[in-house]
Structure 1
Amino acid sequence: MKNQASQTYEIMEVCLLAGKIMLQSGGETYRVEDTMMRIAASFGIENTHSYVTPTGIIFSAEGSEETKTKLIRISERSTDLKKVAMVNSISRRISSGEVTLLEALGLLNEIDSLDMTFPFMVQVAAASSASGCFMIMLNGGWNDFIPAMISGGLGYLSFVYVHRFVPIKFFSEFLASFLIGLLSLLLVKIGIGHQLDKIIIGSVMTLVPGLLITNAVRDLMAGHLVSGLSKGAEAFLTAFAIGSGIAIVLAFLKV
C-alpha cells in the first residue's frame, strides 16, 4: 500500500510539473487541465480532477481508499510557446507508452530548468524591427520607419529594465509607454518623424497583451470563467497602463 501511495504521489508530481511549465509559459487553462489528466490516465490513474487558475493549480487523484490532493502556486508567468510544445510532445510520448514515469519526471525537470529566451539585445532588436513593421502595416510612411524603430526599441528596453528592479508589470508598462510617447513626440518635433500617431501606435504594439487576450477568450469559450475573466482583467490593466502613459504625454505637452 505504501508503494502504491508513493507511486500515486510521483504521478501527481509529474502531472503538476507539466501543468506548471505550461501555465508559466503561456498555455491555455483548458490545455493545462487536459494534459495533466491525460498523463495521469496514461500511468493508470483514471479518476482525477484538476482546477487551474493563472495563479495556482489544484490536482487530486481518487484512489481505492483515499483521495490525494496537491496544490502548487504559480507566481511568475511569461510567454514561451516552445516549452508548451515540448511538454505536449512529452505528454503524447507518455500516452503512447514510450516514456516511463521516472523518465518523464527527468525530461520535465530538464525543460523546467531550461532558459530558452533569446539574448537580451536580440529581443530589443526584434522589438525595434517589429515596431517599424507594425507602423508600416498601419498605413504609416516609410519615412517614419526609423523613428518607430528607435522609440519602440528604447521603449521595450526600458520596460525590461524597469521590470527587473520593480517587479510590478503595470508600473513598467506605464513607464515604457510614457517613454515611447515622449520619444515619438521628440522625434516629430525635431523633424525626424512625421506622423506622430502612426509612430506611437507602431511602437506600443510590442507591449500589447495579444496572447493574454487570445487565451482569455479561448478560456471563456471553453467554460473556464475564472481563468478567462482573470486573464481578461490582466490584459485590460496592461492596455490601461499603455494608454495612460501615452495619454499623459499628449495631455501635458498639449499636442
Structure 2
Amino acid sequence: MKIAQKNKILETCLIAGRIMIESGSEMYRVEDTMNRIAYNAGIQKSVVFTTPTGLFIGIENQPYVQLGAVAVRTINLEKVENVNTASRQFATKEITLDQLMLRLKQIDQDTAHFPLWLQITAAAVISAFLMIIFSGEYDWLDIIPSAVAGALGYAAFAAVNRVTTIRFIGEFLSATVIGIVAYLLTRRHLGVDIDNIIIGAVMPLVPGVAITNSIRDLLAGHLLSGMVRGMEAILSAFAIGTGIALVFRFFM
C-alpha cells in the first residue's frame, strides 16, 4: 500500500472520530468506528487513542501517525448516527474510501440543526411535564408557569452560547433567568410553588447525556475521558445551581 493511500485512510478515520467526539459520542464507539474504517480500508492493525480534546491514530509497527484536535463538544446524535451509517456502507463496499471521506465532510458541514423556535418549544414542553414527575405531585397549576420559565431560560441559554464560547456561562445565566422568571410569576400569583416551577424549568439544561457518557466511558475502561466528561457535567450542574442560588439570595 502506498504512503499516500495510508495517509488518506488515517485522515478519513480522524475525520470520523472528530465528528463523533464533537457530537457527544462515547469514546469506545469512536475507537471502534475508527478501527473498523481502517480495517476495511486495508490496515490490519491500527492504534487509536482518543481524549475529549484530541485523538490519535497510527499503524502498528509502522511510522505512520496522525492526530487531530477537538475544538468543540456538543450533543448532536444525528451526526453520530450518520457517521456510523457511512462507516457501515464502507464496510459493505457500497461506497469507496474517497466517497466515504466526501460523505464525512458533508456530515460535518451540512447536518441540519432543529430551528431555534422548535428547540424553545421542546424546552417548554419538557419543563412542564418533568415538573410533575420530579416534584412528586400533580401540580397542574404550575404547568404553564414552568413551561414559560423553561422556554425563556433555554432562549437565554441559546442566546448566550451564540455570542460567547466560554463554557458554563450559558448555564449560569439561563438558570438565573429561570429563577427570576419563576420568582416574578409567583409574586404576580401566576404560579403557586416556585420550587416546582424551577425544578421543571432547569431540566432542559441538566447535562444528562454527558453524565451518562461519562459513566459508560468509565465502565468501558476510558478513565481519562470518563473523568473529564464527569467533571464537565459537575461544573455544568454547579453553574445551574449557582444561578438559582443567587436568585434565592437576592430576591427571596
Query: TM-score of the superposition, structure 1-length normalised?
Result: 0.95
**1:120 shift after superposition:** 1.0
Shift of 1:251: 1.9
1:83 to 2:79 alignment: yes
- The letter of the residue matching 2:159 is Y
Query: Would you say the 8 A contact 1:54–1:74 is kept in 2?
Result: yes
Aligned partner of residue 50 in structure 1, secondary structure: strand
What is the 5 A alignment of 1:35-184?
A: 35-62=33-60, 66-138=62-134, 139-184=137-182
Shift of 1:165: 1.5
Contact 1:140–1:195 (Cα < 8 Å) also in 2 = no
Distance 1:115 1:79 in 2: 13
Residues 135-160 of structure 1: per-residue CA shift (max 9 Å, x gap):
12223411111101111000000111
Instruction: In structure 1, give the amino acid aligned to 2:244.
Output: I
Secondary structure in 2 aligned to 1:59? strand
Q: Kindly report the root-mean-square deviation, in angstroms, between the aligned alpha carbons of the 2 structures.
A: 1.2
Percent identity of equivalent pairs: 44
Could you tell me how far apart the structure 2 residues matched to 1:192 and 1:123 are?
A: 24
Most deviating of 54-63 and 100-109: 54-63
Question: Which has the larger displacement, 82-91 or 222-231?
Answer: 82-91
Q: Which runs of no fewer than 5 residues in structure 2 stay unpaired? A: none
Distance 2:142 2:242 in 1: 23
Q: Any unmatched runs of 5+ in structure 1?
A: none
SS of equivalent to 1:70: strand
* Whole-Å separation in 2 of the counterparts to 1:189 and 1:15: 56
- Partner-residue secondary structure (3-state), 1:60: strand
TM-score calculated relative to the size of structure 2: 0.96
Query: 1:154 & 1:25 partners in 2: Cα distance?
Result: 25
Deviation at 1:107, TM superposition (A): 1.1
The answer to whether the 8 Å contact 2:37/2:91 transfers is: yes
> Does the aligned pair in 2 maintain the 1:216–1:228 contact within 8 Å?
yes
> How far, CA to CA, are the matches of 2:16 and 2:181 in structure 1?
42
Distance 1:8 1:87 in 2: 20
Q: Could you say what secondary structure the match of 2:234 adopts?
A: helix
Query: Which of these residues, 27, 30, 33, is aligned with residue 29 of structure 1?
Result: 27
Aligned residues: 250
For residue 97 of structure 1, give the secondary structure of its aligned residue in structure 2.
Answer: coil
